[in-house]
Each structure stands twice: as structure tokens, then as C-alpha cells.
Amino acid sequence: MLNIIFIGAPGVGKGTQSALIEKDYSIVHIATGDMLRENIANATELGKTAKTYMDKGELVPDSLVINMLKERITKDDCKNGFMLDGFPRTIEQAKELSNILDSLNYKISSIVYIYADEEIIIERLLKRGRADDNEETIKNRLKVFESQSKPVLDYYEGKLKIIKVKSGRGEPEEVYAKIKAELDTL
């Protein structure tokens, strides 16, 4: 069972790389944002509760996201393993994730940390053309990543194998080759 946590700022290529890993290793990519939207669309109890927060523009509480995540990783399609994208974002979430995994007798195999220079990230995100992808918003999102998610990486340092890969202007296949070489040693 290969269980991976993806950490990286917006625009570094987590989605691209996770799709390649999903295909080669037959493990499920779980993005917490997608998970929330799916629960809301399916009108699950967790989804209905999450929607009340989201409709008010509030963050969904950690406890609710953690319950959704626990429910999600116990599904049959996760029996070969899973990749978590967007969770944990804080040290508190990392601690809660450890509790969940311990209760299910699961372990995280590795952290995949993808990083890139700020100017490359800004360039990529501006090309996506989303309404919220303007330079000021992007820079703010990068600051939030640095302040909230980077400490998660420090939290796992020394506890788990961390695969660090720089994403540049090169081909995604080059980045993937580096990640795959490391995953194959697990």
C-alpha cells in the first residue's frame, strides 16, 4: 500500500504529477477540495454540513474535513493506496491525520514536495486564465502556502521520507522521472 502526501504551492504541478502516479501505481488521488464538492453534490450528511459553512464564505472546520477524509480513505478504491492533495495544510491537521491513520492501521509512505521559483509559478497560473489567478492573488496564495503549509513539511522532516523535486520550465516527464525513481525505492 503506497500512501503519499503531496505538498506544494499552487501551480507547481501537483495535479499533473499525481495523474502520472495514479496511472502507474494504481492509487487514488484525493484532493480535499474535490472531496468537499463531491459530498455536497451527493447531498451526504457531511456535505450538507460543509455547505452551510461554504455558503457563508467560511472555512469548513478541520473536524468535518477530517471526518470526510477518514470516510474516503476506507473506500475500496483506496486499498492499493492513496495520494492526499490539499491535506494536511497545517500542523494540527497533520497530527489529526496521524490519529486517523493509526486508527486504521495505515502509514504514510512518503511526502512528495514539489517546488518551483515564484516567477515560474506566477507565469503558469496567469496562463490558466482563471478569474482568481491575477498576480496579486497569486502572490497572496504563495504567502499563505509559505506561512501555513511549509511548517507541515518541517513537521514531517525526520519522521518520513520526503521526496523533494524542483519543477522548472522543463517537461513534466522529467519531474515525474525523479519522483518515480524515489517512489520505486520505497
Nearest in space to 141 (alpha carbons), one of 122, 115, 117, 168: 122
Catalytic hit among 141, 150, 166, 178: 141
Active site residue 124: no
Catalytic hit among 23, 127, 130, 169: 130
Neighbours of 107 (CB within 10 A): 11
Cα(10)–Cα(24) distance, integer angstroms: 23
Active site residue 14: yes
Burial of 64 (0-12, 13-18, 19+ CB in 10 A): middle
Active site residue 130: yes
Catalytic hit among 79, 107, 128, 143: 128
What is the set of active-site residues?
Answer: 14, 89, 128, 130, 141
